């Protein structure tokens, strides 16, 4: 296979950057792949024709892939593998399926190279959204390695989410350099997952919307409906949320949101880290909180609600 194409693909996966909210993402990805491609020679298929070695057995291929995975420091028990050829430097190249987690493209080089199939596939999706004819480099092809929803769904379960994952994609890295994944949940709001050194952080898509970003797999209706859980057992529990606005964080580290109900009525909700509202203010009560309500209103008093007029003095 082409050494340059493989290294370009690996370089692109390693350099995976935020694909949402960063217009230069496609250029950065392409630049990483091009720079990597320029740093190596193209494959020398002709040189290999003069001396053909016996084809390795499936067991030998798995053993070679396993040895490369171990050398690369991967936690991967190889269950299936194919040989993809050799680089210009005669380094063996494999695609490997792991018992758990993502599969990999592997180069038995010094040091060994590994490309995460979930990242490679997600990168290809992002690049092709920018340009359907984009050169996405070497990709994983074994069916088990193409089921990235299953792998990212496993990440969601590790993170403590119990939704039915119906769509998933790696979406880049945040400012801390941590990988981000998005999951769509069947008939409900989805999440972003952040892989940290200590485990997983999750952010609901209704929170993402209020950070001027967007979730590709959650609809506005799904994100708004998630507020039913946030507002449960509060004076705003009956609100069918139509629109929300993040106003800031108070002294107790509670996030303050303005919410507008489909009725037009509005509230301010102070939401804790558990994604539950801990205090609710009507718009009338919130006049002096962060400038008060801007998208919701408190319904005007009706005639029945209005106090009786005082009798004129004589």
- Whether the bond into 111 is cis, omega within 30 of 0: yes
CA distance linking residue 273 with residue 276, whole number of Å:
8
Place of tokens 């995460």: 116
Average pLDDT value over all residues in the chain: 83
Q: Which pLDDT score is estimated for 211?
A: 85
Tens digits of residue pLDDT in 198-238: 999 999 999 999 887 889 999 999 999 999 999 999 999 99
Distance, CA of 19 to chain centre: 9
Helical ranges in the chain per DSSP H? 3-14, 25-38, 45-48, 58-71, 117-130, 143-146, 148-158, 205-209, 220-225, 227-230
**Residue 290 CB: number of other CB atoms within 10 A?**
14
**What does each C-alpha distance from 149 to 25, 47, 69, 70, 255 come to in angstroms?**
22, 40, 23, 25, 31
The predicted model gives 178-203 an average pLDDT of: 97
Q: Of residues 1 and 290, which shows the higher confidence score?
A: 290
Q: Which pLDDT score is estimated for 54?
A: 83
**Coil/strand/helix, residue 283:** coil
Q: Which residues pair with 169 in a beta bridge?
A: 182
311 Cβ neighbours under 8 A, 6+ residues apart: none
Residue 127, pLDDT above cutoff 50: yes
CA distance linking residue 156 with residue 17, whole number of Å:
21
**Residue 44 CB: number of other CB atoms within 10 A?**
14
Residue 287, pLDDT above cutoff 50: yes
Q: Of residues 188 and 54, which shows the higher confidence score?
A: 188
Q: Of residues 161 and 297, which shows the higher confidence score?
A: 161
What are the domain boundaries of the chain? 3-142, 147-223, 226-282
Place of tokens 């940290």: 196
Helix (H) or strand (E) segment spanning residue 243: strand 241-249
Residue 192, pLDDT above cutoff 80: yes
């Amino acid at each position: 296979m082409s050494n340059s194409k493989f290294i370009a693909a690996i370089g692109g996966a390693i350099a995976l950057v935020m694909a949402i909210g960063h217009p230069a993402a496609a250029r950065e990805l392409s630049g990483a792949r091009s720079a990597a491609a320029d740093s190596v020679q193209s494959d020398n298929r002709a040189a290999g024709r003069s001396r053909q070695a016996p084809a390795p057995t499936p067991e030998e291929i798995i053993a070679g892939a396993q040895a490369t995975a171990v050398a690369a420091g991967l936690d991967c028990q190889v269950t299936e593998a194919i040989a993809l050829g050799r680089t210009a430097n005669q380094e063996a190249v494999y695609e490997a399926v792991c018992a758990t987690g993502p599969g990999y493209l592997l180069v038995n080089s010094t040091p060994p190279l590994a490309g995460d199939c979930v990242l490679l596939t997600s990168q290809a999706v992002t690049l092709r959204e920018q340009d359907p004819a984009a050169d996405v480099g070497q990709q994983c092809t074994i069916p088990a390695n193409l089921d990235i929803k299953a792998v990212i769904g496993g990440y969601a379960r590790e993170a403590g989410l119990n939704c039915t994952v119906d769509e998933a994609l790696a979406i880049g890295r945040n400012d801390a350099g941590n990988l981000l994944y998005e999951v769509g949940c069947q008939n409900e709001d989805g999440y972003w997952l952040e892989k940290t050194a200590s485990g997983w952080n999750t952010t609901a898509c209704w929170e993402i919307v209020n950070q001027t970003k967007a979730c590709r797999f959650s609809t506005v209706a799904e994100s708004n409906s998630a507020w039913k859980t946030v507002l449960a057992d509060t004076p705003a529990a009956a609100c069918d949320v139509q629109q929300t606005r993040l106003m800031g964080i108070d002294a107790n580290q509670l996030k303050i949101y303005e919410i507008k109900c489909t009725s037009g009525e509005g509230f301010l909700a102070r939401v804790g880290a558990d994604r539950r509202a801990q205090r609710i203010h009507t718009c009338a009560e919130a006049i002096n909180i962060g400038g008060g309500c801007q998208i919701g209103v408190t319904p005007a008093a009706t005639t029945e609600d209005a106090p009786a007029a005082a009798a004129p003095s004589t």
